[in-house]
Structure formats: C-alpha cells, structure tokens
DNA sequence: GGATCTGTTCTTACACCGTAAGGCGACCAT
DNA sequence: ATGGTCGCCTTACGGTGTAAGAACAGATCC
C-alpha cells in the first residue's frame, strides 16, 4: 500500500486546464464541477478551494483562451502595421476555432478578462506607431475584436454537409420563396466544386478582415 | 365557482413570447421550464406538448428574434443599396440591444433559424440589384452578419462606470505595464467629457459598419 | 343519454447540477 | 504534545430538465 504515489496537488491552473480540455472535447455542457473533479481524480467540492465558484471558473477559462491569443502574438514577425495586425487576427481566429465554445462564452462575460489588457496594449502600440491617432486606434480595436468574436458564429450556412439528397419538393418551395438566396447558393455550390458546404468560412473571414484593414488604412492616410 | 373564466390555451407562440420576455427582463438564467409555466399559469410539464424540449425552446426564442429583425426591414425606405443595407444593420443591432441575451445564444445554435432565410434573401436581392455578383453578395452577407452578432460582445471596456475613484497604486502599475492602453484611455476619457465609459459603442458600431460598407462598395465598383 | 376517443394538462419521480456546512488528516511552529 | 492552518472529502439541500403515466376536457359516434 505504501507504493501509492502522492497525487499531483490541485492547482487553479490544473483545474482551468482540465475545464478547457473538457469544453474543447465535449462542449460547455460537459463542464461540470463533478466532471472536472473526475478528470483530476478528486471530488467536486475540492475545486472550491482554488476557484470561488462556477462563474469564476468560467471567467478563468476565458482568461486562459485570451492569454493564449495574447501569447501567440509574440511569435509573429513584425512588419508594417497591416500585416502585423492581420497575422494577429488570423492567429486569434485560429485559436478560437480550437475552442469552439469560447466566443459565445466570452460574449456572456461582464468583465474584461485580465489578459485582454496585454493583448490590446500591444495592438494599440502597433497602430499608434504606424501613425494612427488615439481615436482611430480605439475604433480599430473594437472593429477587429468584434470581427474575431463574431465570425465564429455562423448564422448562415444553409447547406451544412448533411443533406446529400435535398428534398425535391421542399427545394422547389424554397426556390419560390427565396429566389435570390437559392440562386446564390446554386452559383456558389457550383463554384465550390463538391465542397461540403457552400461557405468557406476561412476565405470569408480573410475577405472581411481585408475590408476592415483597407478601411483603417484609408482613415490613417487621411490623418496625415 | 362558475365565474372562473377558461384560461387562455397554451400555444407555442405564447410560450416563446413568455420565454423571451423572461430573458429580456432577467437574463437567460431565469428562463426555466418552471418559470415559463408560472408566467403562463401552468405547470412546467405542460409546455412539453408544444415544445419538444429546452433546446427546441431556445431555438424558438432565437427564431423569434431573427424574425423580428427580418420584419423590421419591411418598414425601411429603399434608397441606394448602401443606405438600405446600412439601415437594416442599424435596425438589427437595435433589436439585438433589446434582447441582450440573443447574440451569445445565437452563437451556440448549430442550425440556421428558419426566419434567417427571408432576411438573407432580401439582403442578397438588394445587393444583387445594385450590381454585386453572387460571390460578393455572399461575402457581404457574412461580413455584415458577423458584425451585427459580434459587436454586442464587448471584450474591451476597461472603465465601465463603477470605479469612480480608481485605485492610485493599481493605476500606476497598469500605466507601467500597459503604457499605450492607458494613454489611449486617458485621451478618450478626456474627449468623452465625463461620459460613463470611454466607449461609445453605438459610434464604434457605425464606424465599423462604415468601414465594411466602404470596402464592399469599392469591390462592387471594381466589378463593373 | 352513454361510450369511446383524442388531445391537452397535471402529478409524481428521478438523475444531475451548483454549492453551503462541517469533518478529517497531514503538516508545521511553538 | 498542542494548537493552527491547509487541502481534500462527506453529507445534504434546493433547483433543473424531463420520463411516465394519470386525469380531465371536448368532440364523435352509437
């Protein structure tokens, strides 16, 4: 019996890690105090010594993800502001896609996660140096932030893989009711050449990011 | 006893209405089957005859809000595509603000709400008529959708009213760690002249919407 | 009239959730 | 030894979604 090795002690960090892992694998529904406890081979109530309550735990999960985004910035090459900011946004999105639960959870937070400050400070520094004034920098932050957070939420992907054989009758009814939409879907599906869905979300994200960056550059040039 | 008037019968629509009302007033946490039942003077289990389960109920709530956005379009004046689309987006955002729970709940949906089709069909029709090709129309949809959904989620509002007397010491530490951010906050707070927060979210939304519309117009002009 | 059927509502019950309250053993300074 | 602190566990409670079936209403047919 004395062979039993002491269990790794519980830590806030280990708890948040387990929670994030659970959410990544099985969604937010699976993140319960008891499930996290199981993951770490402890009882649910033991978590409360390291985390105030579930709300704090979720805030911690958010902070973990935002910190991951902030750190991803340290690796990227610093060129002109446009490509620097572009790369950061692409990284941020990539990370969001590895944590599909994150955007909607972030949207529910009532306080900014602490690690967001470092992220934003860096971003603001980059654009100020490029000649943005403070007002434009501020707006840039909001524009880009909402883009990264909003784009994971696809409200519109009418043909998500599954329906191999679309119901003929329903299709005809749809075509009558939503002529433009069906026409567009037709063209885009044809252009996609047998892709699973008509939406290539990555391309659409990059397109929109381009729109926003172009617009910011135009405003910056107008300042000078 | 015979004076008792028959209770209004339960309906899917009445249930969804009550649920939305509850969420608007007290947040999603308050939306429980029992609470909805109370609101309608029924038992919780009675709801299940009109709604498959809670997931379906929430999908119905989303559909109600999206339908509200779709209908808000019927009233607006149809001018050039830019102002038409702009007005629709502003209306959509206004409606989102009356249902603060909606964006994060919409983000969790795995299927497009049915009423989104009418909304998008109308939007696609507007821009096609203005000379967009199908690919550009498709991207426009995604760009604008993510804007409306993403912008309610403010990740960044560092001074939200409450802290009247910011801790001097903490302030100094922050200034050392996040110089650009604090400088910007200073300038913007001064410019806002005693506003509650440095962020005027409506102005920031309209700014970003302008960026996106400008960009789309440039792409459209390049097609011709 | 009564009997039957059909669709709605209510009763009861259960498993699971977050977490309040307090107990128990291992360490550590006195 | 002794008392204190720290980390973890046990028990228990009220609230949640919902499965199963009973109770009730009104329409339909004899």
Mutate which: A102, A138, A158, A183, vs B, most B CBs within 10 A:
A138
- Domain-wise residue ranges, chain A: 52-156+199-223
* Number of neighbouring beta carbons within 10 Å of residue B113: 21
Instruction: Answer for the pair A192, A200: CB distance below 8 angstroms, yes or no.
Output: yes
pLDDT of residue B161: 53
Three-state secondary structure call for residue A107: helix
> Do the chains contact at A208 and B143, CB–CB below 8 Å?
yes
CA B26, B149, A125: angle at the middle one, nearest 5? 110
As given in the structure block, the two tokens for residue A209 are 């990011």
Domain B52-156+199-223 class? mainly alpha
Residue B45 beta carbon within 7 A of nucleic strand D: yes
Is residue B177 within 8 angstroms of chain A, CB to CB?
A: yes
As a rounded value in angstroms, the CA-to-C1' distance for B57 and D16 is: 15
Q: What is the pLDDT of residues A129-146, one digit of tens each?
A: 999 999 999 999 999 999
Q: What value does the mean pLDDT of chain A take?
A: 89
- Quote the CA–CA distance of A16 and B148 in Å, as a whole number: 31
> Do the chains contact at A208 and B212, CB–CB below 8 Å?
yes
Instruction: Answer for the pair A212, B142: CB distance below 8 angstroms, yes or no.
Output: no
Of residues 87 to 146 in chain A, which lie within 7 A of strand D by their beta carbon?
none
R_g over Cα of chain B: 22
pLDDT category of residue A159 using cuts at 50, 70 and 90: low
> Do the chains contact at B121 and A155, CB–CB below 8 Å?
no
Of residues 125 to 184 in chain B, which lie within 7 A of strand D by their beta carbon?
none
pTM comes to 0.90
Check residue B193 and give left, alpha or beta (phi > 0: left; psi -120 to 50: alpha): left
pLDDT at A73 over 80: yes
Cβ-Cβ contacts under 8 Å, B190 against chain A:
none
Q: What is the mean pLDDT of residues A87-101?
A: 96
pLDDT of residue A169: 77
pLDDT of residue B158: 61
As a rounded value in angstroms, the CA-to-C1' distance for A45 and D12 is: 13
Helices (H), A6-53: 12-26, 33-39
Return the higher-pLDDT residue of A64 and A165: A64
pLDDT of residue B198: 76
pLDDT category of residue A2 using cuts at 50, 70 and 90: very low
pLDDT at A37 over 80: yes
Is residue B39 within 8 angstroms of chain A, CB to CB?
A: no
pLDDT category of residue B200 using cuts at 50, 70 and 90: confident
pLDDT of residue A208: 97
Instruction: Answer for the pair A153, B107: CB distance below 8 angstroms, yes or no.
Output: yes
Q: What is the pLDDT of residues B78-137, one digit of tens each?
A: 889 999 999 999 999 999 999 999 999 999 999 999 999 999 999 999 999 999 999 999
Is residue B146 within 8 angstroms of chain A, CB to CB?
A: yes
pLDDT of residue B218: 98
> Do the chains contact at B178 and A153, CB–CB below 8 Å?
no
pLDDT category of residue A192 using cuts at 50, 70 and 90: confident
As given in the structure block, the two tokens for residue A94 are 């990539």
Cβ-Cβ contacts under 8 Å, B66 against chain A:
155
- Quote the CA–CA distance of A61 and A41 in Å, as a whole number: 20
pLDDT at A3 over 50: no
pLDDT category of residue B175 using cuts at 50, 70 and 90: confident
Is residue B183 within 8 angstroms of chain A, CB to CB?
A: yes
pLDDT of residue B3: 40
Q: What is the pLDDT of residues B32-66, one digit of tens each?
A: 999 999 999 999 999 999 999 999 999 999 999 99
pLDDT of residue B77: 80
> Do the chains contact at B146 and A153, CB–CB below 8 Å?
yes
Is residue B175 within 8 angstroms of chain A, CB to CB?
A: no
Which residue from B121, B146, B188 is facing A150, i.e. has the nearest CB? B146
Query: Which DSSP helix (H) or strand (E) runs through A215?
Result: helix A201-223
As a rounded value in angstroms, the CA-to-C1' distance for A45 and D13 is: 15
As a rounded value in angstroms, the CA-to-C1' distance for A54 and D16 is: 16
pLDDT of residue A111: 92
């Amino acid at each position: 019996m004395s062979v039993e090795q002491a269990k790794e002690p519980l830590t806030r960090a280990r708890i948040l890690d387990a929670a994030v892992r659970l959410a990544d694998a099985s969604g937010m529904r699976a993140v319960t105090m008891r499930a996290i406890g199981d993951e770490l081979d402890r009882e649910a109530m033991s978590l409360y010594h390291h985390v105030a309550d579930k709300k704090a735990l979720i805030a911690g999960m958010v902070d973990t993800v935002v910190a991951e985004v902030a750190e991803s910035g340290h690796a990227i090459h610093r060129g002109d502001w446009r490509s620097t900011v572009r790369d950061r946004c692409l990284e941020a999105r990539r990370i969001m896609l590895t944590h599909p639960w994150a955007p909607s959870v972030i949207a529910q937070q009532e306080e900014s996660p602490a690690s967001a400050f470092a992220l934003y400070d860096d971003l603001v520094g980059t654009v100020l140096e490029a000649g943005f004034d403070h007002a434009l920098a501020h707006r840039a932050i909001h524009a880009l932030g909402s883009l990264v957070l909003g784009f994971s939420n696809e409200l519109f992907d009418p043909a998500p893989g599954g329906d191999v054989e679309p119901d003929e009758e329903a299709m005809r009814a749809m075509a009558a009711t939503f002529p433009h939409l069906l026409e567009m879907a037709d063209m885009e599906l044809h252009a996609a050449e047998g892709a699973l869905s008509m939406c290539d979300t990555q391309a659409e994200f990059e397109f929109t990011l381009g729109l926003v960056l172009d617009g910011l550059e135009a405003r910056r040039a107008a300042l000078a």
